[in-house]
A and B are shown apart, each in its own frame.
Chain A
Amino acid sequence: MPSLNDYLILSAVLFTIGTAGVFVRRNLITILLSVEIMLNAVNLTFVAFGRAFGTVDGQIIVFFVMTVAAAEAAVGLAIVIALFRHRESLNPDAFTALKW
């Protein structure tokens, strides 16, 4: 029977994989996917804590996180499409017009 700490460790590992993906990869789509990995790691933490405390609030916050993730994916992918139309590239280093 795994304990709460096992779930938290797994969630920490997944979150770190997502963070590494955001830092290491140079492809806008993959960066957005890494953000999704991080959101899911946090969801796992919420569900595990909700189970440990015997309340329903953890699952409700997961519901809200998924809604925000859907909005984030829709807007982020729209931005990616608009950027790709301008530069024919998905490399974030290609978009430096606002860099000072």
Chain B
Amino acid sequence: MLFYLFGAVAVIASLLVIAQRNPVYSVLLLITSFGALSGLYVLLDAPFAASIQIIVYAGAIMVLFLFVVMLLNAPHEDTDFDERTHPMLRPGPMRFGALLAVALIAELAWALARSSPLTTFTNTPVTSIQALGRTLFTDYAFQFEVTSVLILVAMVGAVVMARREDAPGGKR
């Protein structure tokens, strides 16, 4: 029962993210969707994934988005054409894009219909963070270290790209 509740909240909030004109509302609705997904992770006996979903995703990444939306102060899609029409009702390439999305869900539904009949969760769940940490720092130790390099590169890249050109010390 909780699955359908969380699933409905996630789907409706995600749909509203796309339908909103104002990016601030989009970000807030996406946080709602992530909260519902966190509930689904709890239902799947994954408390670690649920907590980092809230702390890292909703707490850090989405706040970064909200920060940029408010910094840019450009709440609406800003051409005359975008002001006149609702995003879901536009012609041409956008309608083609919506068609591609419908084709994608048709393919996914077809693939799921061909899969094996309903699988229920019979295994004993692995919920302990101890087991997770042991696997992360032994089997996945190399990937973990590579991830730290990725974060460093992203941090330096973001600082370089977002710097003002006439900033003191800026050479471009």
A binds B: yes
A-to-B contact residues, CB < 8 Å: 1-10, 12-27, 29-30, 32-34, 36-37, 40, 43-44, 47-48, 50-60, 62-64, 66-75, 77-82, 84-85, 88-91, 93
Contact between B101 and A66, CB atoms less than 8 A apart: no
Q: Which of A9, A24, A30, A62 contacts B49 (CB 8 A)?
A: A62
- Shortest C-beta distance, B121 to chain A (Å), equals 6
Contact between B157 and A78, CB atoms less than 8 A apart: yes
Contact between B87 and A17, CB atoms less than 8 A apart: no
Contact between A10 and B10, CB atoms less than 8 A apart: yes
The 10 lowest CB-CB distance pairs between A and B, nearest first, are A23-B97, A54-B123, A71-B154, A20-B101, A12-B108, A78-B158, A4-B119, A78-B162, A78-B161, A2-B3
Question: With A and B bound together, what is the CA distance between A90 and B53 in angstroms?
Answer: 28
Taking CB as reference atom, which chain B residue is nearest A81? B162
Question: With A and B bound together, what is the CA distance between A91 and B40 in angstroms?
Answer: 34
Contact between A29 and B26, CB atoms less than 8 A apart: yes
Instruction: List B contacts of A51 (CB < 8 A).
Output: 44-46, 121, 123, 125
Question: With A and B bound together, what is the CA distance between A29 and B26 in angstroms?
Answer: 9
Question: With A and B bound together, what is the CA distance between A29 and B22 in angstroms?
Answer: 10
Contact between A80 and B72, CB atoms less than 8 A apart: yes
Contact between A24 and B97, CB atoms less than 8 A apart: yes
